[in-house]
Amino acid sequence: MSLNKDLLEEQEPDIVAESQTPQNEQKINIKGLLFDFLFYALLIFVCIYILPNYVIQRTIVDGSSMEDTLRDGENLYVEKISYRFDLLDRFDIIVFYPFGRDNEEYYVKRIIGLPGETIQIIGGEIYINGEVLEENYGKEPIADPGRAATPITLGDDEYFVMGDNRTISKDSRDIYVGNVEKENIGGKVIFRILPFSRFGKID
C-alpha cells in the first residue's frame, strides 16, 4: 500500500508539468506573433519611407537634355547618400530641384564645377580655376556660354551643372537655373533599369 502511494507521489509533479505545457506554448506563440508583427511593420516602414527618402529611389528621364548618355523615358536608380556626406565628384550625374524642394519639378544634369571653384566658358571650352577642363561628355560643342561667359565663383555648398546635350540643355548657364545648392540636390544617378537594352551602371 505504501509502495503505491510513493509511486503516486512521484507521478504528481509530472501531471502538474503536463498541465502547464499548453499555457507555456500559448505564451511563446503570442510572443512569436508579436515579434513577427513588429518585424514586418518595421520592414514596411523602411521600404515605404526610409529607402525612397534617404537611401535609393527610382526616377524617370524627361526630355533629351542628357543625350546621348540618358534618353527620354529611361528609368533610373538614384542614391541619396553621397550628397549628404559631400561625396559628389566632378562628372557625377545628379537629380536636383532647380526651383527648390517645394516645387516638384526636377532636372537631371552632370556636375561640372565643384564648391569653391571658378567656372568660365570661353570659345566653347570650359575653364575651371583658369585651366581648360578635359572632358568629352558633350554631344555638341558649347555654342552659348550663357552666364558663364564671365567667371562664376561657386559657394561652399554650390555646384555648376550642365546637360550632355549642350545645345538644348537648360542648366547652370541659364540665369533661371543658376548654381545648384546642396540642399536642392535629390541624389546621384547610379543605375539604369529601363529599357533592358541599356540596362546597367551609368558613367
Domain ranges of the chain: 1-55, 61-192
Question: pLDDT category, 56, cuts 50, 70, 90?
Answer: confident
Peptide bond before residue 52 is cis, with ω within 30 degrees of 0:
no
Rounded CA-CA distance 185/129 in Å is 23
CB atoms closer than 10 angstroms to residue 98: 19
Active site residue 2: no
Continuous segment of H or E residues that includes residue 26? helix 2-45
Per-residue pLDDT of 134-185, as tens digits, reads: 998 988 889 999 999 999 999 999 999 999 999 999 999 999 999 999 999 9
Active site residue 109: yes
- pLDDT at position 7 is 45
Q: Is the pLDDT of residue 1 over 70?
A: no
Rounded CA-CA distance 192/29 in Å is 45
Catalytic residue among 19, 27, 109, 188: 109
Quick one: CA torsion of 19, 24, 25, 28, rounded to 10 degrees? 180
- pLDDT at position 22 is 62
Here the cell at position 103 is 516645387
| pLDDT, averaged across the chain | 83
CB within 8 A of 83, min separation 6: which ones? 94, 182, 185, 187, 188
Homologous superfamily (CATH) of 61-192 is Umud Fragment, subunit A (2.10.109.10)
Question: pLDDT category, 54, cuts 50, 70, 90?
Answer: low
Question: pLDDT category, 41, cuts 50, 70, 90?
Answer: low
CB atoms closer than 10 angstroms to residue 3: 7
Question: Which range is least confidently modeled, 33-47, 67-81, 149-163?
Answer: 33-47
Catalytic residue among 19, 27, 31, 65: 65
* Position with higher pLDDT, 180 vs 82: 180
Per-residue pLDDT of 8-28, as tens digits, reads: 455 555 544 444 466 666 666
CB within 8 A of 166, min separation 6: which ones? 138, 139, 140, 141, 142, 143
Q: Is the pLDDT of residue 192 over 60?
A: yes
- pLDDT at position 48 is 59
Query: Is the Cβ–Cβ distance between 195 and 185 less than 8 Å?
Result: no
